[in-house]
Amino acid sequence: MDQEKYTEEVLEKYNMTECKAVKTPISTSVKLSKEMCPKDDVEREEMSKIPYRSLIGFLTYLATSTRLDIAHAVSALGQYNSDYGLEHWKAAKRVFRYLQGQSKISQNTLNWYSRRQTNSGRIRRR
């Protein structure tokens, strides 16, 4: 269930293989909101050239498959699929920057979770 190769392919597609990694998938200092959406048709036209929905689609697949660590960030970003601004795009790219630094974490997370679930069934109650 490891998605490392898929993650690398997506990073390459968006030219983010050499990006600077970050420790969290979403910034605590940036609050995504409707105020960040384009205000007029010119801004909307510019933003329509950015493959935001495609990027969110890739991230959603990862978040629902093996990368539960990005699920909250991807959910927050997905709320703006129909009307996204430059700040939303930057936040989505931050998730990729996080993945760049954490590409090997998915297998470890799943192994830990599986062991934890197996061990939880062994507890006896009186």
**pLDDT tens, residue by residue, 66-92:** 889 999 999 999 999 999 999 999 999
Count of residues in the chain: 126
Predicted structure pTM score: 0.76
Give the pLDDT of residue 17.
87
At 78, the amino acid letter reads: G
Domain layout of the chain by residue ranges? 3-20+39-118
Low-confidence ranges of the chain (pLDDT < 50): none
Give the pLDDT of residue 81.
92
Give the pLDDT of residue 109.
53
The dihedral built from the CA positions of residue 105, 108, 114 and 117, taken in this order, carries a sign that is negative
Query: For residue 85, which of 35, 30, 38 has the smallest C-alpha distance?
Result: 38
Give the pLDDT of residue 72.
95
Give the pLDDT of residue 65.
87
